[in-house]
C-alpha cells in the first residue's frame, strides 16, 4: 500500500473518531432539502435543486504516457448551470493555464445524479449534489500543443470528448459553495478506435488525459496508480433513473433490488500491457431495480477493449485535518462501458454506452431519511449513446446523445 494512502487513512481514522462526537444522527435531514426523486415506481415528479453558482479553482492537468502520469497546474471555471429538463443542465467549462490564459472550452452537458450530506474535518455539515458530465472541448488561441497534457487529436481539427463529474458542496454553517470536478479523455483504444468512434484515427495510442480540481496546497490531487481496484462486491443501496428526451415525463428514481460488481483483473490499456502500471481494471456490473429495470455490462469482442465496465485509476486528493476543502481525501476513478439496459416502466431494451466516476472516502457521509443507504463509496454512470433499435456506430468520440439512463450505487 502506498505511503500516501497509509498517511491519508491514518489521518482519516483520527478525524473520524473526533467527528463521531460532532456528527448529527444518521437520519438527519439535509440542510437545504431533498431533491424530489424518491417516490413510487413509474410516477412523475419534478427535480428540486437549488440555484447553483459558478465554480473556479486550480486543477491538476494530467497526461498518462504508458499509464505513468505527469502533472501541471491549470485553472478551471464552470459557469452557473442552466436547467433544461428533469435534472439535465447545461453550462460552459473553460480551462486556462496557470496564468489564466484560456486554453480549452466547451458546452458542458450535466446530468444530476443524487444528493447527500457530509461532515468535513471542521465538524461542518455539507450538502452535496453530484452531476455526471460530458463535453466536447475545443482549443482556444492560448492552447499549447507542445504540452504532454494537450490531446494531440486537436491537431486534426477535431474536438476532444471528456467525461467525468462535477460536485457542488454547500456548507450549511458558512452558507457558501465549494466544488470538485473531473474530466477524462482516454487513449485511442477507447476514444478514437475506427469502427466505433465519431473521430477515428491514430492520435495518442499510449496517452490519456485528465483535468481534476481542486488542486491546491490545502487539498492537493496526486495522480497515481492506486493500490487496489474498486472491489465493493454488492451495493448496499442505490438507484437507476430513466430520463426521457426534453419535454418528456420526469420519473422518480428506481431503488435497486440486487447488484453485483466483480473484478476480472488489471493492466495498462494504453498501450495494452501487463508490465506497465495497471491503471485499468475490468469489472462486470449487473443491477436490477424494485421497479423492474435492469442493467448489465457487456464484454465486447476483441480488438475492442471494453471488457465489461472498465475503470481507470486517476488518483487521490490528499488533504487532511481542519481546513481541508471539499472533497477531502477522496480517491477518484473514471469508468466506462457498454450496457444492456431494460426500462422496467416501459419494457423497452436498450444498448447504452455509459460513462462516469467512482469515488471512495473523502469526508464522512451521513445517510438521510430519503436514502438511508448512502456511503462514502460511490459508483455513478450515465449514458452518452442509447438506442433500442438500429444499433449502429459511432458509439464514442463525441457528445452523441442526451443522457437516457443513469445509475448510482453506494457500497
pLDDT at 15 over 60: no
Burial of 347 (0-12, 13-18, 19+ CB in 10 A): exposed
Question: pLDDT, tens digit, for every residue of 193-247?
Answer: 999 999 999 999 999 999 999 999 999 999 998 878 888 899 999 999 998 777 7
Averaged confidence pLDDT in the chain: 91
Q: Which of 25-34, 253-262, 287-296, 315-324 has the lowest mean pLDDT?
A: 25-34
Quote the percentage of the chain above a pLDDT of 90. Answer: 85
DSSP bridge pairs for 260:
286
pLDDT at 248: 82
Quote the percentage of the chain above a pLDDT of 70. Answer: 93
* Averaged pLDDT for residues 65-75: 98
Q: Within the chain, how many helices (H) and strands (E) appear? A: 2, 23
pLDDT at 28: 52
pLDDT at 230: 82
pLDDT at 29: 66
Do 266 and 276 meet the contact criterion of CB atoms below 8 Å apart? no
Q: Which residue has the cell 494512502?
A: 5
What length does the chain have? 411
Distance, in Å, from the CA atom of 241 to the CA atom of 228, rounded to the nearest integer, reads 29
Distance, in Å, from the CA atom of 395 to the CA atom of 158, rounded to the nearest integer, reads 16
- Residue 233 in 3-state DSSP? strand
Nearest to 320 by CA among 55, 1, 19: 19
Question: pLDDT, tens digit, for every residue of 325-349?
Answer: 999 999 999 999 999 999 999 899 9
pLDDT at 385: 97
Question: pLDDT, tens digit, for every residue of 142-179?
Answer: 999 999 999 999 977 779 999 999 999 999 999 999 99
Amino acid at each position: 500500500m502506498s505511503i500516501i494512502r497509509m498517511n491519508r487513512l491514518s489521518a482519516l481514522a483520527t478525524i473520524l473518531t473526533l467527528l463521531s462526537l460532532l456528527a448529527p444522527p444518521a437520519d438527519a435531514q439535509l440542510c437545504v432539502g431533498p431533491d424530489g426523486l424518491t417516490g413510487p415506481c413509474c410516477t412523475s415528479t419534478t427535480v428540486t435543486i437549488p440555484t447553483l453558482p459558478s465554480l473556479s479553482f486550480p486543477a491538476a492537468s494530467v497526461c498518462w504516457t504508458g499509464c505513468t502520469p505527469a502533472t501541471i497546474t491549470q485553472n478551471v471555471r464552470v459557469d452557473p448551470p442552466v436547467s433544461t429538463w428533469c435534472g439535465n443542465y447545461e453550462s460552459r467549462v473553460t480551462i486556462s493555464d496557470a496564468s489564466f490564459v484560456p486554453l480549452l472550452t466547451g458546452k458542458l452537458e450535466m446530468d444530476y445524479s443524487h444528493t447527500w450530506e457530509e461532515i468535513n474535518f471542521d465538524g461542518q455539515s455539507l450538502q452535496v449534489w453530484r452531476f455526471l458530465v460530458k463535453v466536447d472541448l475545443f482549443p482556444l488561441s492560448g492552447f499549447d500543443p507542445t504540452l504532454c497534457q494537450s490531446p494531440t487529436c486537436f491537431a486534426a481539427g477535431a474536438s476532444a470528448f471528456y467525461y467525468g463529474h462535477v460536485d457542488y458542496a454547500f456548507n450549511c454553517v458558512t452558507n457558501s459553495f465549494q466544488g470538485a470536478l473531473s474530466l477524462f479523455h482516454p487513449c485511442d483504444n477507447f476514444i478514437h478506435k475506427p469502427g466505433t468512434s465519431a473521430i477515428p484515427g491514430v492520435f495518442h495510442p499510449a496517452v490519456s488525459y485528465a483535468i481534476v480540481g481542486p488542486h491546491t496546497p490545502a487539498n492537493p490531487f496526486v495522480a497515481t496508480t492506486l493500490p487496489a481496484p474498486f472491489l465493493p462486491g454488492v451495493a448496499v443501496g442505490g438507484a437507476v433513473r430513466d430520463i426521457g428526451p426534453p419535454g418528456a415525463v420526469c420519473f422518480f428514481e428506481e431503488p435497486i433490488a440486487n447488484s453485483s460488481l466483480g473484478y476480472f483483473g488489471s493492466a495498462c490499456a494504453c498501450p495494452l500491457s501487463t508490465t506497465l502500471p495497471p491503471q485499468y481494471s475490468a469489472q462486470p456490473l449487473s443491477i436490477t431495480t424494485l421497479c423492474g429495470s435492469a442493467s448489465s455490462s457487456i464484454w465486447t469482442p476483441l480488438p475492442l477493449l471494453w471488457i465489461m465496465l472498465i475503470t481507470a485509476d486517476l488518483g487521490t486528493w490528499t488533504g487532511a485535518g481542519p481546513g481541508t476543502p471539499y472533497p477531502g481525501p477522496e480517491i477518484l476513478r473514471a469508468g466506462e462501458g457498454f450496457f444492456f439496459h431494460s426500462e422496467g416502466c416501459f419494457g423497452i431494451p436498450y444498448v447504452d454506452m455509459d460513462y462516469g466516476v467512482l469515488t471512495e472516502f473523502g469526508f464522512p457521509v451521513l445517510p438521510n431519511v430519503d436514502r438511508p443507504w448512502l456511503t462514502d463509496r460511490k459508483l455513478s454512470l450515465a449514458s452518452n449513446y442509447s438506442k433500442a433499435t438500429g444499433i449502429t456506430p459511432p458509439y464514442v468520440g463525441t457528445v452523441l446523445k442526451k443522457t437516457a439512463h443513469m445509475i448510482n450505487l453506494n457500497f
